[in-house]
Each structure stands twice: as C-alpha cells, then as structure tokens.
A and B are shown apart, each in its own frame.
Chain A
C-alpha cells in the first residue's frame, strides 16, 4: 500500500519536473530540485556511490524509518569482482549502509544466481561486504515464490516472483553495467530476472517484452548502477580482464529506464538501441530520452 503511494507520488513529482529537468540537462550541472539521474565518478567505489545517491537527494528520500528493504545486486556468476560479472561489493555495501542509516529495520540481499549460489555469493565478495555493512544476506528458498498476474503484460501474463521482493517495503536495484549476447547490455531492468521463479531460461524467446513485463511488477524506488568496472564483451559473465573497462562511475536514479538508457551511453550505445528500453518507454514505464532528463555529474 505504502509502496504504491510512494510510486504514485514520485511519478507525479517526476512528471512535474520534466520541463525544468530538460532545462537542467542542458545546463548539465546543478539544477533546482532533485535531479533525475546522478552520475558520480571517483576512485573509491563506496564514496562514489554515496555521492551519487546524495546528489539525488539522499537515501532518506527512498527509505523511511522502520522499513524492510531489499537491495538486489547482480551476483549471478562465479566470478571475482575484478571481472565485472557481478555488482561491485563496495557499491552494494555502501547502499546497504545508507539504507540502515536512513532507519531501515532490515536490509535483505539475495539473488537467484545462475552458477552455484554458494560460489556466487562468496566469490563475488558481496556476501562478506554486505554482511559487514549490516545486511542480511540470504539464499533463495525455492518455496518462497508467489504467482503474480501482471496486468497489461504481453508475454508473462502470470509468473512467479520471490515473495521477499513482493513483500518488501522498498526495493533498491544495484545492477552492474555489462555486455549481454542477446539483450546487448544488461543493467537495471534485466537484473530483476534474479527475482523471478520457474524455468526462466524460456523467457529468452521474447526477452525484451518479458523484461518489460517484469518491470510492470517490480518497481524499485532507487536504482544504483555500478559502472566502476564495466564488462564490454563476452558478457554476462566475462572471465577475461581484457574485456573489463574501469570507469569508476556510479549512476543513480529513480527511473530504471532512464538509468539503463544512460548506461547504454557508457558503451557508446543509445538507450533506443536496447529493445527492452524502447519497449519499456513505449509502455509508459519510464523515460529513455536523456535530453528530457535533469542529469547531474559529481566528482567524489
């Protein structure tokens, strides 16, 4: 209930900011009101993450006292952090820390990984970092998926979603920006494949539309895109340092369509090059047109 109210209010606020936002983007630095996207760069991933979220208005805007928060990193692969196949552990940990500072009663961290979950949790470094920051890091429990009907869905009319995600007060998406053979890039929207149940491999038949349908259900309050290291080829799991590019960048925004659209620019692509971004915008789930956004850039 509360979450829905929040989404509606931010949605209205976002619409209200569209025009000044566009002007702000032209000015390209500070703007009045909260920006749509904050792009922070810096050597220290934790500080960069904090700077991005603060530029957006601070975590207090997204997490209220006593709320149960789910922070969803990408930790799908048995790879260590330098390979940029999983979200950066320092970025994830900093988001967890900020949630707790804003009074979250609990921060859950999990992912339905592709490789063995034990190895993914350990080798990604995320379990250790997130737990040290105060999160509860749990493994997916196969019994805790719930069937959800998705109104307006074009592919996934009903599908199973992880109940902890459905029941959370606030969702925070912490994806990493990387290459993907079929989707071209995987960032915010695609990260939610890690909270759906059943044999998700079949959704690749209509991947873009399916990702849009998932985004109809999963509405994160905040998306923090880890582009400290990006994976430019052989994604989504990589394995060669030659495919990793260090950008020392963290992107934060409330609209994950905007975040993904901006993320595409890090690879020299446009948001409209990504099928799911195009379709999500057409479905009214967010804004892909970067020129319409108020984007601030910060050095951390």
Chain B
C-alpha cells in the first residue's frame, strides 16, 4: 500500500520530468524555427533578433575554428555556456534542446517497433577525431556534419524553398483558376501566411534537390533506428558525450533494479541503461525516459556518485584510421586545379576573408544564403574546389549584391564574412563588371539600352556611357549611348548583370577579378 503510493507519487514526478523535457524540446525547436524565419530582411539595415543564436552556442564550431583558423567565432562565449552546462548536467543539449534531435524524435514517432541498435556508436567519435585532426591541419570540414550547420543549411536551401513553393502553388492555383469566392477566401489566408511564415521572395537555390536528399536520408535513418544520427554520427553529440563523462549530475540506479530491461527500449541514446555495469554515460541524452518507465522506481538523476565511467575503447586501428583520414583529407581536397588560377565565378560575398582564410573559417551553415536579400548567394559546387563545396558564392544572374545591404556579414557565425558598416561595405569590391560587346544591344546591334548605367549604384557611376556613332546597314549614321565600365569605381555588385535585358547570357558580366580580399586576383596595377 505504502510502496504503491510511493510509486504513484514517483511516477507523477517523473512524468513531470518527461513533460518538462518535451516542453523544452518544443520550445527550442520553435525558437529555432522562429529565428530561422526571422533570418530575412524587413528593409532596415539590421535584422533585430539574434538569428544565429544556435550556432553561437555550438562548441564544436568554436573548437574547429580555433584549430583551423586560429581564431574564435564571433560570439564564442555563448558556446562556453553549453560546455559548462554539459560539464554539470551531461548531454542535456541532445535530449532537451537540439532542434535536429527533436526533429529526429518526431520522425522516430513513425517507427513503432523496438530499435535494433546498430553497434556503431563509436563511429561518431571517429567522425569527431577526423574533423578535429583535419581542422588542426587547417581544413575546416565541420559544417558538413555539425548538426546545427547541417540543419540550417538543409532548411535554408532545400526544405524552406520546398515549403514555400508548395504553399504558394496551392494559393496561386486557387487565385488563378479558382472561382471568385474561393480566392476571396484563400487570399486573406495567403496574405497572413506571407506576413508570418512564408519568405518575401520565393527562394531558389542550386543543388537544392541534392542537399534536400541528404537531409532526408539523415531524417529517414530514424525509421531504421530512432535517433540514428545522434547515436552513431553526430560529431557534436560525440563532443558533448566526452564532456559529459564526469558530469556532476548523472543517472543513478538504486538497489531496487531487477534488471527487467524496461528502460532499454525507451533509451534515446542506446546507453545500455538496463545493465548498470555496462551503462555508457556518454551516450545518455538525460532524456529521463528510463526514470519514467522503471516499474521499480529505481532510476533517478542526481549528483554523480560511485565509480568512474567505463573507458571508451575505440580501438587503435579505428583511431589511427580516423586520424590518418583527417590528415590525408587536407591535401586530397586541395589537389584540384583551383590553385592554378583565380576562378572567375568565385565571387564571394562582401567582407569575405581572403580565400584561404575564408575556407578555414566558413562552416557552410547557409545563414548568409538564407538572408541574402536578392537570393544571389548560392552554395558553391566546384567553384571553390572540393574543399569549398556549399560555401557561398554570388551568382549575379540569379541575384546581385544590394549596394547598401550588410546582412550576410551580420549573420555569419564565424566571421568568415566580416561584419561591415555600410560606409565600409560600399567600398569593398567583390569583382568587376565587363561589357560583352558582342552581345550588348548598343555595342553590337546599334539599339539603345543603357540599363546597366541606370542601375549602377555607385554615387559616381561605375558604368558610364559615351556617345558613339555607328553606320547602320543602310549607311545611315546612328548616334548611340554605349556602356563603359570604370574599373576603379566598379564594386562588382552585379546589379548590371542581373538586370541586363539580354535574358539568357548577359551582355555585362561580373567575375571575381579585382576583388578587394585578394592580392593576386588583380587586373589594374
């Protein structure tokens, strides 16, 4: 009777903990999504909300950036807070806060049967070793697998564009083909969505399908084994796991444990909770499920007592392999032809560090591409070599660099794109425009145009015109304004290329030559 009471009280208490965890997960996921959606201009110079907050809290980015670029991320002190939290409470970030982890939980709801635990939890430590070693030798690959970078990039470049396209297609169909009463109903809803969750401009990114496919694989892995990514692959999880081994708060099991195994099935981290002697503290997300489910009420989280955690034995071969892979990756990703000549299409955003520093610093989180006001910043494919995959490049035919906009530098978590004030930004060259006289309407065809001059934003126009006289086919003299580019004034913003009326291959094009950040890629003496 008495013990029955106790277990009821106990179960109420633990259910409260599970509820608290779920609320916390929901809160952080919503916060993440809110900050994600707010990563968009409203027309002012500043964004307002601290949109890169989750990246600022990421200690993995801090460490690899310190190793690879010998400098600290912009707001690195926030990640020290997460380190401190982990040292005290264990891997609570994974269980209580990580937005990607919560998405894994949600997808995992579709898996009804107990998980077969793949015995590859060591893999994530090797991933971590690989990333740390390669970054020690200046190769910054963390962004491919860092969960926050991966999530923001996948959402920005693929999921959100898909979401926007799907929603607007429905409303556009109702608007264009539906009867009047239908659009009278749907348009206010669409307007409200546009004010809240939809992007201002429909986003379009190169490689969106590929990046989305990889993200889908990461999520679908939960249907094979729940939290597959977190258990086996996540390098941040591995780092936090290592930090959590001597956490002050830890899971404890009392004498009452009968070894029934109820906790095994609900353990999110596959930490072997059912065999106290084999329990892996570094795999525990502190999700409290074991506490909740224990029929004996024998589990609770409290001040750590007892023996030191079990040692992690990765095996010498695996460690050596991961280390060597980290070392070999450095030259391997740099043997492409990129070093031979500047790449004309490698137009980096304004404020981007010199290319070598840039690649050491950029974590390809996609924040800059998400926030780019014209959508011109795109994930690189091979423009920056294999090492530069998914780093930002400006593609002026898609969108130009808005002259007075400084948002990409504001959202960059690592300072790969420096934050510049407007008066400084407008003096940064990201490339130079040159006229293709063979395609230009006035130059090649004797037809007036001069749109490039009109839209050129520099106070004294970099694109200027002079009057030229042409003899047309019938021998008449035609006077025309033809565009010229003042290479000293041109910043390479690319608006001339974006808006050039030649619809396919533009008659004025920007290439990276003349970019302020490079000493070598210069044309003028």
Partner-B contacts on A (CB < 8 A): 78, 114-116, 118-123, 127, 139, 143, 180-182, 199, 201-202, 204-207, 234, 236-240, 243
Contacts and interface: CB of A to CB of B under 8 A. Distances in A.
Identify the 4 closest CB pairs spanning chains A and B, nearest first. A122-B43, A239-B459, A118-B43, A240-B459
User: Do most interface residues of chain B lie in helix, strand or loop, or is the interface mixed?
Assistant: loop
Interface stretch (B258-266, B350-358, B432-440, B449-457): B449-457
A238 B448 contact: no
A204 B499 CA distance: 12
A78 B499 contact: no
A147 to B, nearest CB: 14
Contacts of B460: 234, 240
B175 A143 contact: yes
A199 B459 contact: no
Nearest to B483: A181
B465 A181 contact: yes
Contacts of A180: 454
B447 interface: yes
B115 to A, nearest CB: 47
A188 B217 CA distance: 56
A205 B447 contact: yes
Interface in B391-420: 402-405
B119 to A, nearest CB: 52
Interface string B486-508: 00000000000001110100000
A204 B500 CA distance: 11
Interface in B147-178: 172, 175-176
Contacts of A239: 457-459
A238 B458 CA distance: 8
A205 B446 CA distance: 10
Contacts of A127: 43
A204 B450 contact: yes
B373 interface: yes
A123 B404 CA distance: 10
A234 B405 contact: no
B454 A236 contact: yes
Given A78-B403, A204-B450, A239-B459, 10 more contacts: A78-B405, A116-B41, A119-B41, A119-B43, A143-B172, A143-B176, A201-B500, A202-B501, A204-B501, A205-B501
Contacts of B457: 78, 115, 237, 239
Interface string B367-395: 00000011000000000000000000000
A143 B481 CA distance: 34
B447 A181 contact: no
B513 interface: no
A123 B43 contact: yes
Nearest to B499: A201
B200 interface: yes
Interface in B224-265: none
Given A78-B404, A199-B501, A182 B459 contact: no
B525 interface: no
Interface string B15-56: 000000000000000000000000001111000000000000
B461 A207 contact: no
A121 B373 CA distance: 14
Nearest to A241: B459
Contacts of B441: 205
23 contacts: A78-B403, A78-B405, A115-B402, A116-B373, A116-B405, A118-B42, A118-B373, A119-B41, A119-B402, A122-B42, A139-B200, A143-B175, A180-B454, A181-B450, A181-B465, A182-B453, A201-B499, A204-B449, A205-B447, A205-B501, A234-B459, A234-B461, A240-B459
Given A114-B455, A118-B200, A143-B172, A207 B373 contact: no
Nearest to A122: B43
Contacts of B461: 181, 234
Nearest to B458: A239
B511 to A, nearest CB: 22
Contacts, number: 84
Contacts of A240: 459-460
A139 B41 CA distance: 14
B418 to A, nearest CB: 21
B466 to A, nearest CB: 11
A106 B175 CA distance: 23
B451 A201 contact: yes
Nearest to B449: A204
A116 B501 contact: no
B427 to A, nearest CB: 13
A18 B407 CA distance: 55
Nearest to B41: A118
Contacts of B501: 199, 201-202, 204-205
A205 B448 contact: yes
Contact of B373 (A114, A119, A199, A206): A119
B447 to A, nearest CB: 5
Nearest to A201: B501
A126 to B, nearest CB: 11
B464 to A, nearest CB: 8
A199 B506 CA distance: 14
Contacts of B459: 234, 238-240, 243
A207 B374 CA distance: 26
Contacts of B176: 143
Nearest to B463: A181
B268 to A, nearest CB: 42
Nearest to A123: B43
Nearest to B426: A239
A74 to B, nearest CB: 13
Contacts of A238: 459
A295 B373 CA distance: 45
A139 B165 CA distance: 19
Contacts of B455: 114, 237
Contacts of A114: 455, 499
Contacts of A234: 459-461
A54 to B, nearest CB: 33
B187 to A, nearest CB: 9
B448 A78 contact: no
Nearest to B190: A141
A206 B448 CA distance: 7
Contacts of B503: 199
A141 B405 CA distance: 23
B44 A122 contact: yes
A121 B43 contact: yes
Contacts of B42: 118, 122
A202 B449 CA distance: 8
A114 B496 CA distance: 11
Most buried by B among A116, A120, A122, A234: A116
Nearest to A119: B43
A181 B453 contact: yes
B222 to A, nearest CB: 38
A56 B172 CA distance: 44
Contacts of B175: 143
A207 B460 CA distance: 23
Contact of B481 (A116, A139, A181, A205): A181
B448 to A, nearest CB: 6
